[in-house]
Structure 1
Amino acid sequence: MATITVRDLLIRRGFGLLSLLLLLSALGWAQQEPSAFPKQFEGDWNVPDFTFKSGEKLASLRLHYITLGSPERDAAGHVRNAVLILHGTGGTGRNFLSAEFGGELFGKGQPLDATRYYIILPDAIGTGKSSKPSDGLRMKFPHYRYDDMVRAQYLLVRDGLKVDHLRLVMGTSQGGMHTWLWGVTYSDFMDALMPMASAPVEIAGRNRMTRIMAIDAIKNDPDWKNGEYSKQPRGLIAARNIRSIMTGSAVQYQKENPTAEEADAAIEAMAKAALRGDANNTIYQYEASTDYNPSPMLEKIRAPLFAINSADDEINPPELGILEREIKHMKRGRYILIPLSPETRGHQTYNRAVLWKKHLLELLHMSEPGGSSGE
């Protein structure tokens, strides 16, 4: 029997492959076309002499960002409508311009209407058009951690964009973990927090194990050459596949690839997409979470916080009971679990704003300055 190719899959199961490509795009493996939103702007801001937690330094740290809308200031000159949205591992701010996310949130009359809010979508250190190992330093690039990434975001917002207050900080996956760190590090800087597909504890258990497996898949490939490769090592494919299985939905994978041939073709497509990434960037992205652990500091969070996860998330399985335990350390925190349904997408349910935007609206309402505090 002849092996089905990606081209065959496009012809025979176009919808299934489209869903796969949306998945890859959400992970930063495929480029998205920019969408037209009000006053959309894209730029770079450079931080001179940035010192990392490790003590390493970068003479100029480039931070790329997209903004939608315009900042509005109150009588005292403080910005009151800025929203910061933080992407997942290997992603970019542009991912949020997708129809499933931005198309549900940023349009006229929608929860984060870009004619009313000033929306900030940065590329984190190590990804997108921000400074990263593949720019030239390779494995000599400073070994950044989540704390460094969040501090850089803060500097971009405060000094680069001249925003002195955020109406909301929200993020997905890695960006969700960054949101927790924003809450404990800059507790007076925002009115509300919404971390998604994340937990406020150190990364351990299967989550940490799969990250180490992904890193080892690259480093154990002889073609990696200690980061001095001339072409992407195929260990990068294994690294990305490990994470795609963890971030995807078993139900959706089965629906979209119901035969052995189609599953094989999907793997072929994923391999090609993986090799469009960069091995060193991937190592750094996974290692950045090494010392993440805001749990001991959760009582510092002052703003109302909605933590939203999904029941079919293999990275943050609800059976662990982590969020039920940790949310008790916050006076104004709430844990929301999206139940399994034909509409959920595992860890990446966060991309489907239609499933959770009602909770965002509630959070915005209860955190309105001068309104109900939710206490």
Structure 2
Amino acid sequence: MGCMHAFVWGETHPEFADALMPLACEPTAIVGRNRLWRTMLKDAIRADPAWQGGEYDAQPVQGLRVAVDLLVLAGGAPMPLQRDLATPEAVDTYAKTQIERRLPSLDANDLWFQVNASTGYDPSADLEKITAPVTWINSADDFINPPELGLSEQFAPRIAKGRYRLIPNSVEGRGHGTHTWARFWKDDLVELLARSELAAR
């Protein structure tokens, strides 16, 4: 279950889950920079003449190249990128490699709808309805959910059985993808399962 789905399900069906562990999101509308890069990505796809209103025979490659560039930036982490791409040549090679690796697996319409799917997302009004134990974790190196906005600290107190933790920035981080590496949060999961077991007794 995705992070945003966890908040939506938690408040829409409070009895559905014994525990919730949202990773890498905020329980509020997609606005600001987060919506901006998504809008740019969608516009790039549809502005490519090869898109043909979505009825293309071949992928609109120019639009998808821009989309890949935005995905790389939005998903990247500054500290490991600074370490690993320490020369202009390394940066150029990495950018080219990302296009070559990602482009063949993308479908323009699929990607457009994936990015557009969160347009109406905003569970912020009903967070108090969440009754399950919650461990919510974001990472400090996440371009998509930047901690300096203070959103997590604003919303976390409204979740009755919620605990929030921010993974510190480090060269080991993976930006928005930090949440896919269990070593960053496995201890939190163990603690959450123990809490949910106690709550069920």
After TM superposition, the score normalised by the length of structure 2 is 0.94
Q: Which residue of 1 aligns with 2:3?
A: 176
Q: Which residue of 2 aligns with 1:273?
A: 101
Structure 2 CA distance for aligned equivalents of residues 344 and 274 of structure 1: 21
Alpha-carbon shift at residue 177 of structure 1 (Å): 0.6
RMSD (Å) for aligned C-alpha atoms: 1.3
- Supply the AA of the counterpart residue of 1:176: C
- Supply the AA of the counterpart residue of 2:91: A
Structure 2 CA distance for aligned equivalents of residues 230 and 266 of structure 1: 29
Structure 2 CA distance for aligned equivalents of residues 313 and 247 of structure 1: 7
Structure 2 CA distance for aligned equivalents of residues 255 and 228 of structure 1: 42
Q: Which residue of 2 aligns with 1:201?
A: 28
Alpha-carbon shift at residue 251 of structure 1 (Å): 1.6
Structure 1 CA distance for aligned equivalents of residues 141 and 43 of structure 2: 27
The 5 Å alignment of 1:225-374 reads 225-233=52-60, 234-276=62-104, 277-368=106-197, 371=198
CA deviation vs aligned residue, 1:295-317 (integer Å, no higher than 9, x gap) = 10111101011110011111111
Equivalent residues of 2:19, 2:132 under 8 A apart: yes
- Supply the AA of the counterpart residue of 1:354: R
Gaps of 5+ in 1: 1-85, 87-174
Equivalent residues of 2:19, 2:192 under 8 A apart: yes
Equivalent residues of 1:311, 1:317 under 8 A apart: yes
Structure 1 CA distance for aligned equivalents of residues 192 and 30 of structure 2: 27
Alpha-carbon shift at residue 274 of structure 1 (Å): 3.1
CA deviation vs aligned residue, 1:223-264 (integer Å, no higher than 9, x gap) = 111112222212111112112211111221222222212211
Equivalent residues of 2:19, 2:133 under 8 A apart: yes
Gaps of 5+ in 2: none
Structure 1 CA distance for aligned equivalents of residues 85 and 55 of structure 2: 37
Alpha-carbon shift at residue 372 of structure 1 (Å): 5.1
CA deviation vs aligned residue, 1:333-367 (integer Å, no higher than 9, x gap) = 11111111222111111122111110110000011
Equivalent residues of 2:68, 2:103 under 8 A apart: no
Equivalent residues of 1:307, 1:336 under 8 A apart: yes
The aligned length equals 198
Larger helix percent: 2
Structure 2 CA distance for aligned equivalents of residues 194 and 223 of structure 1: 41
Alpha-carbon shift at residue 271 of structure 1 (Å): 1.2
Identity in percent: 46
CA deviation vs aligned residue, 1:9-49 (integer Å, no higher than 9, x gap) = xxxxxxxxxxxxxxxxxxxxxxxxxxxxxxxxxxxxxxxxx
- Supply the AA of the counterpart residue of 1:238: V
**Equivalent position SS for 2:22:** strand
Q: Which has the higher contact order (CA 8 A, sep 6+)?
A: 2
Q: Which residue of 2 aligns with 1:216?
A: 43
Structure 1 CA distance for aligned equivalents of residues 54 and 199 of structure 2: 53
Equivalent residues of 1:237, 1:275 under 8 A apart: yes
Equivalent residues of 1:236, 1:274 under 8 A apart: no
After TM superposition, the score normalised by the length of structure 1 is 0.51
**Equivalent position SS for 1:309:** strand
Matched, 1:191 2:18: yes
Instruction: Flag as ranges the 4+ runs of structure 1 deviating above 4 A.
Output: none
Structure 1 CA distance for aligned equivalents of residues 25 and 68 of structure 2: 19
**Equivalent position SS for 1:335:** strand
Equivalent residues of 1:232, 1:275 under 8 A apart: no
Structure 2 CA distance for aligned equivalents of residues 212 and 307 of structure 1: 27
**Equivalent position SS for 1:193:** coil
Equivalent residues of 2:75, 2:144 under 8 A apart: yes
